[in-house]
């Protein structure tokens, strides 16, 4: 088992665990973007969000919601940025789904999620909406 998150889930690699249950483990990122940066991972090794079983997806996002306030309050933060790099092309470096919860403070120097996109928009909204709807099962 070479996946670092699977090894943390299995208890083979130490981590600062903040929550562990039957579906999900949450722990502090060892290379935090800010104090209190938490990663929430499903126990199952799944590379991308869309490959999660519904039950695991439910548990993952319930846990993110459950942790958002304690993380914010524990760090005295004003809010949290919550995000997922979903796929290698997005900068996902570990192929095991993980949700970042990063505490934020006014003037902390970090931008919003909007700031990571150069907004190279080429297609009309109705065309894009129809293409997505056509692929929903
Ligand atoms: Zn894994």
Helices (H), the chain: 4-9, 54-75, 125-135
Q: Please tell me the distance between residue 32's alpha carbon and the centre of ligand 1 in angstroms.
A: 19
**Model-level pTM?**
0.95
Q: Please tell me the distance between residue 43's alpha carbon and the centre of ligand 1 in angstroms.
A: 8
| Cα(51)–Cα(97) distance, integer angstroms | 9
Q: Please tell me the distance between residue 121's alpha carbon and the centre of ligand 1 in angstroms.
A: 34
Q: Please tell me the distance between residue 2's alpha carbon and the centre of ligand 1 in angstroms.
A: 8
| Cα(43)–Cα(18) distance, integer angstroms | 14
Structure tokens at 51: 């490959």
| Cα(5)–Cα(27) distance, integer angstroms | 10
Residues with CB under 5 A from ligand 1 (ion): 3, 5-6, 45, 96
Q: What is the DSSP string of 25-64?
A: EEEE-SS-SSTT-EEEEESS--SSGGGS-HHHHHHHHHHH
Half-sphere exposure of 108 (CA within 13 A, CB side): 17
Whole-number pLDDT of residue 137: 78
Neighbour count for residue 120 (Cβ, 10 Å):
5
Q: Please tell me the distance between residue 85's alpha carbon and the centre of ligand 1 in angstroms.
A: 15
Q: Catalytic annotation on 98? A: yes
Whole-number pLDDT of residue 90: 96
Candidates 45, 98, 100, 114; catalytic one: 98
- pLDDT per position in the chain (137 positions), as tens? 799 999 999 999 999 999 999 999 999 999 999 999 999 999 999 999 999 999 999 999 999 999 999 999 999 999 999 999 999 999 999 999 999 999 999 999 999 999 999 999 999 999 999 999 999 97
């Amino acid at each position: 088992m070479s996946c670092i998150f699977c090894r943390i889930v299995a208890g083979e690699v130490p981590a600062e665990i903040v929550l562990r249950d039957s579906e999900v483990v949450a722990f502090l990122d060892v290379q935090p973007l800010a104090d209190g940066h938490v990663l929430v991972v499903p126990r199952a090794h799944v590379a991308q969000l869309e490959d999660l079983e519904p039950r695991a997806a439910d548990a993952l996002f319930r846990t993110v919601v459950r942790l958002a306030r304690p993380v914010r309050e524990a760090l005295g933060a004003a809010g949290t940025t919550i995000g997922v790099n979903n796929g290698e092309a997005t900068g996902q470096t570990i192929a095991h789904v993980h949700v970042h919860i990063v505490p934020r403070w006014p003037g902390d120097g970090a931008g919003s999620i909007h700031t990571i996109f150069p907004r190279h928009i080429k297609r009309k909204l109705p065309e894009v909406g129809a293409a997505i709807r056509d692929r929903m099962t």
